[in-house]
Amino acid sequence: GRGKESDLCEALRCLGQALHTLEDFPAHSNYCELVLIDMEERRGQHSPIFPHVGTETILKLENGQFSRPKPGERHDSRAKYVWPLVTGTFGGVDFLHSVLGEANDHFTQ
């Protein structure tokens, strides 16, 4: 038989929540900036993109091991230098929208 209309509504609501979670990752992390930086570096160019982390957080990857470059250390062409991925960077407007949206969901149910 046919499913209940309320079951369909609940399924669509859950799907929306899951898709919102996927949207939050690039929206509230520095992932997109890191991809743009990597694309520039693969072309042999210095990237002007800001990675949204401190300048001392860059990591050196060599022979499968991460290490922190020493201050003033020149970049070694045999190593890959990467910025850390950070999440949870919400602005004030995002926080307010999240709180108001959650309250609205509770009022409409």
* pLDDT digit string, tens, across residues 44-83: 888 899 898 887 888 999 898 999 888 777 777 788 888 9
In the chain, at which residue ranges do the beta strands (DSSP E only) sit?
A: 59-62, 65-67, 80-82
Nearest Cα to Cα of residue 94 among 18, 12, 2, 23: 23
Determine the pLDDT at residue 18. Answer: 93
Give the domain extent around 76: 5-108
Q: Count up the domains in the chain and report the number.
A: 1
Could you tell me the pTM of the whole model? 0.62
